[in-house]
Structure 1
Amino acid sequence: MPQLPAARQPWPRAAAGRPPSGRDTGKPLWYTPVAVLGDVAGALVPAYLAFALTDGVPAGIHSAVAAVAWPLVRAARGRYAERLLGEGGTLRPALRDWLILVGMLAVVRAATGEDSPFLLALAALLPAAPTSAAVHTLVHWHLVARRRDGRAVRRTLVIGEAKAVDGLVGHLARRTEHEFIVVGVCPVGEENPQSLAPVAARLGRRTPPRMTADSAPVLDAARRLGVDTVLVVPGPHLSGTRLRRLSWTLHGEGCRLVVVPGLTEVSGRRLNVFSVAGITMLNVTPPLRRGLAAALKSVTDRLGAALLIVLLAPVFAAVALAVRLDSPGPVLHRQTRVGRGGAPFTMLKFRTMVADAERLRQQLAARNEQDGRMFKIRRDPRITRAGRLLRRCSLDELPQLFNVVRGDMSLVGPRPPLPDEAARYDEVELRRLDVRPGLTGVWQVSGRSDLSWDETIALDLGYVDNWSPSVDLGVLMRTVRAVVTGAGAY
């Protein structure tokens, strides 16, 4: 558990509607200039180098325009806002901003008659988005490290019915990358929450006739605990009227109010708030399953897999020879797995176990180290000497590129289960099969076999619900690091 920040002084009552200065998220002041300088350098340096290599093109002018235009686009899109810096989700926004930059500069080219080679100009701008994403990712890692130490956080009071409070506090406690540290709870009704946070106040079940009956205990608790933010979980006894009145009081004191709708693991891009007849509504768009993005994924998967097969042909040959010389048996292991929609297919792998591994599995069932549907043993006696190295480097998975070309699998997706594993899935776990299984995925880049079954399901369902091309690109980039470190591979 991260250490809580030292308690702050209670707010003075004559605060003129604002808490004292310095009561913020505690993000270092250098985040903004570093983000801006990173964007300037990411546009300036590549553009200058690209145009400097071309005769007759003024490199200084073109690179200066790129260096000014890129941060302006980012600033106009709110990327340097203090509340967003370091909060993750860097690649997708950078790609969107880059497309706006390209479109804007294309209009400028047409209006001014600028005649530099278009492909050269486009190539000069290409590094801007990944460089920006890399800088913002470094800022994110720094912020996460601070929050694990109990810094750069908001002291938070949670209001809601006991079970709802327990669910929210427990969910927040399992993560360390967010800004909320719960220092107290305010249950609605007489039931006591089971969370470790102390009960700082209590509200009645019925809407009180006087507004102060709700606001007074909440404000008293907020002042005593030095609270920055109040999280509210609406329920049958916390009506819209009560919530609205509570917001008046909290905002009058300069305290942030956040309403938690109860949705979990839903990407922000799928949510939008709108108002109808004075009622605030939250729209949740469906996951991407069809359309241009899905078609592009299918085409990219097959073309990418085919290209990798050609490029890695020498590696295929070397691994096949090593498997053949290490132990008797076939080079390739063919295994029935369950794919999209529950359809079975034959998955290919380089053999890493003895030839009769499937028969021996039944004898080792009692040694399973996984707590769910998967079968994993850290020191599995069936694995050969060459197989242990292949698993450590993930080279045994390479033949699945042929599965990707055939359309049975995708480059990125959930792990394909065995038929007996899938047969025991409940209705929630079956949702993993709504997309094609992947050669790599969020599970593989987040710890692999070191994860519990519940953690594996949560990661896979998050991918299934919130898939986008930028998510796939991020997973592929993280796969390189996972293969190099070998974390969770056994």
Structure 2
Amino acid sequence: MGIAPERTFVPSVASLRIQSRALRALPLTALVLDLALVTTTVLVAAWARSTNLLLDPGRPIPGLSDTTSALSFSQSITIVAIPLVLGWIVVIALRGGYDQGVFGAGADEYKAVVNSSLFTAALLGIGCYLTKFQLSRGFFVFVFVLGPVLLAVGRFLLRRSLHRARRHGSLAQRTMIVGSDEHVDAVASVFGRETWLGYDVLGALVPAGARSETEGGVSILGDVEEAAALVRAYDADVVFVVGGAFDHPLAMRNLVWDLEADNVQVIMAPGVTDVSSERIRVRPVAGLPLLHLDRPRSQDALRWAKRTFDIVGSALLLALLSPVMLWSAWQIKRHDGGPVLFRQTRVGRDGEYFTCLKFRSMVVDAERVLADLHSEVGYAEGLFKMQRDPRITKPGMWIRRYSIDELPQLINVLRGDMSLVGPRPPLPLEVDRYTLMQSRRLRVRPGMTGLWQVSGRSDLSWTESIRLDLYYVDNWSMIQDVVILARTVGAVLSSRGAY
């Protein structure tokens, strides 16, 4: 039998109803934000064009002309402005930009606003051409260059605010997980780790069995046969259906039918983890939503495009950062007269050893006292890191804080030992302890930065660091490399996990 919520549960429901209303107000918040940004874009473009800041030399074309007088330009903007703003917002809405499911994660939100902007530009251009309406070409270009950028930035800031609120326990969605114990624990662990997703797990509904919780500690609220009734009793916002939920293939459909009149989101979580959306394609066949998984992309990360990117990027960074590197080298040498560079053997692609270069941030005999520190802090596995390490020198404190000690690795990248982005370069001692699964990290060149750095650096556990590296190896893409490099700047400046 299901466990119905007691009366003492009601006060928390009231507070969570406020959160639910706030979540449902997200589309309206995004709408107001987009409306303000689009209006601002149009007004700024009109002002810039009217003050001759936007001049577009060249032969005018029908429908988009810069030969009109100041009066006619003012009139044309007056005619176009309101329909343009409203039409732009309507197109975003029609393309799913205000659907509840696009907020918080994934690229669909950004695709919606950018693609809608391009579609609106096409509609306006074609409309002006067909009606021979005289609209400033400079105004047109300015609006549809600035507009998509502002909309994407606005959605990014809205998402960051949502993530920040969720990490502090606000704006969570009351969630139930339906499935077998193992699958429930796997999904619940992801929600516990990634709190920014905002799924507050109330408990699980599992196949028949008299027990109070799963092995992972998730409370069992009842049987899957009572799913619809318990979802209503606990006033859940989201129901996750995972593996092992139902014995009959039609049971899932019946659950969706039972919850049809309720404001509850039903999400299926197939038994696929750590696979990027770019590798998943859904192809309905004879009423079956089949998931097609592309092969892992570890071999793609070894091709000429990434290597060319590494060579050009490392050469440019060495040229740009050479003053910082020279000044750091001088500070290290001046402090104790020891060597400037610290050379350490690391393991690269396919298990090949290489000498990893870093600015020395510790005392000269740091390796000699390492065993004593291992026993002091109870070191077990992985790369050894400790806060307030007594071996760190005075200049070493600030060069480690801002990852300046890593800059000599640009030479490793240029030589082909490393990549700008990739898994963390492991020590031989670590590799000796690898399982077969963990050894997949060695299929690509190690990186100066990677998911491990932008996700917490030294604050990450050994298991979490391995998981992020394996995700990178299997789901590599050039766009992901660029995003990681951009996020690295923020991670370095914030100094989170740097010690």
With normalisation by structure 2, the TM-score equals 0.78
AA in 1 matched with 2:12: A
Cross-structure match for 1:390: 399
Aligned partners of 1:309 and 1:68: how far apart in 2? 48
With normalisation by structure 1, the TM-score equals 0.79
SS at match of 2:332: helix
SS at match of 1:330: coil
Aligned partners of 1:477 and 1:441: how far apart in 2? 11
SS at match of 1:443: helix
Q: Which of the numbers 121, 142, 162 marks the counterpart of 2:181?
A: 162
AA in 2 matched with 1:37: A
Change beyond 3 A, Cα 1:174–1:405 = same
Cross-structure match for 1:79: 97
Change beyond 3 A, Cα 1:186–1:117 = closer
AA in 1 matched with 2:489: V
Tell me, yes or no, if structure 1 residue 417 matches structure 2 residue 426.
yes
| Pairing of 1:56-135 with structure 2 (within 5 A) | 56=57, 58=66, 75=93, 77-87=95-105, 89=107, 93=111, 97=115, 130-135=149-154
Q: Which of the numbers 13, 30, 48 marks the counterpart of 1:7?
A: 13
Aligned partners of 1:97 and 1:33: how far apart in 2? 19
Cross-structure match for 2:36: 37
Tell me, yes or no, if structure 1 residue 172 matches structure 2 residue 191.
yes
| Pairing of 1:28-427 with structure 2 (within 5 A) | 28=26, 29-38=28-37, 41=40, 45=44, 52-54=53-55, 56=57, 58=66, 75=93, 77-87=95-105, 89=107, 93=111, 97=115, 130-190=149-209, 192=211, 193-194=213-214, 198-203=219-224, 214=225, 217-235=226-244, 238-251=247-260, 253=262, 255-289=264-298, 295-368=304-377, 372-427=381-436
Change beyond 3 A, Cα 1:46–1:319 = farther
Aligned partners of 1:30 and 1:269: how far apart in 2? 29
Aligned partners of 1:24 and 1:187: how far apart in 2? 30
Task: Note the residue ranges of structure 1 that are not aligned, 5 or more in a row.
Answer: 10-21, 204-213
Deviates more, 1:91-100 or 1:337-346: 91-100
AA in 2 matched with 1:52: L
Cross-structure match for 1:487: 496
AA in 1 matched with 2:395: A
Query: Does the 8 Å CA contact 1:367/1:377 hold for their aligned counterparts?
Result: no
User: How many residue pairs are counted as aligned between the two chains?
Assistant: 463
Deviates more, 1:62-71 or 1:440-449: 62-71
Shift of 1:416: 0.8
Change beyond 3 A, Cα 1:364–1:269 = same
Shift of 1:289: 4.3
Aligned partners of 1:301 and 1:46: how far apart in 2? 39
Shift of 1:122: 8.1
SS at match of 1:312: helix
SS at match of 1:245: helix
Shift of 1:52: 2.0
Aligned partners of 1:407 and 1:66: how far apart in 2? 51
Aligned partners of 1:7 and 1:154: how far apart in 2? 12
Q: Deviations over 1:171-191 (max 9, x none)?
A: 323332224322232210215
Cross-structure match for 1:12: none
Query: Does the 8 Å CA contact 1:5/1:150 hold for their aligned counterparts?
Result: no
Task: Note the residue ranges of structure 2 that are not aligned, 5 or more in a row.
Answer: 1-8, 58-64, 67-72
SS at match of 2:253: helix
Change beyond 3 A, Cα 1:319–1:229 = closer
Q: Deviations over 1:420-478 (max 9, x none)?
A: 11221112322222332221222222221122112222322333333333322332222
Aligned partners of 1:410 and 1:102: how far apart in 2? 40
Shift of 1:34: 0.8
Aligned partners of 2:92 and 2:316: how far apart in 1? 34
AA in 2 matched with 1:318: W
SS at match of 1:346: strand
Cross-structure match for 1:13: none
Shift of 1:480: 2.0
Q: Deviations over 1:349-401 (max 9, x none)?
A: 11222333333323433135665311112232332222222111211111111
- Percent identical among aligned pairs is 37
Shift of 1:324: 1.4
Cross-structure match for 2:482: 473
Q: Deviations over 1:286-310 (max 9, x none)?
A: 3444569954333222212111111
Shift of 1:236: 8.1
SS at match of 2:472: helix
Query: Does the 8 Å CA contact 1:340/1:436 hold for their aligned counterparts?
Result: yes
Change beyond 3 A, Cα 1:48–1:424 = farther
Cross-structure match for 2:462: 453
SS at match of 1:427: coil
Aligned partners of 2:87 and 2:410: how far apart in 1? 41
Cross-structure match for 2:472: 463
- The two structures, once aligned, show a CA RMSD in angstroms of 4.1
Shift of 1:220: 2.2
Aligned partners of 1:290 and 1:449: how far apart in 2? 28
SS at match of 2:247: coil
SS at match of 1:201: strand
Shift of 1:276: 2.3
Change beyond 3 A, Cα 1:115–1:248 = closer
Deviates more, 1:244-253 or 1:61-70: 61-70
Aligned partners of 2:344 and 2:121: how far apart in 1? 48
SS at match of 2:292: strand
Cross-structure match for 1:26: 24
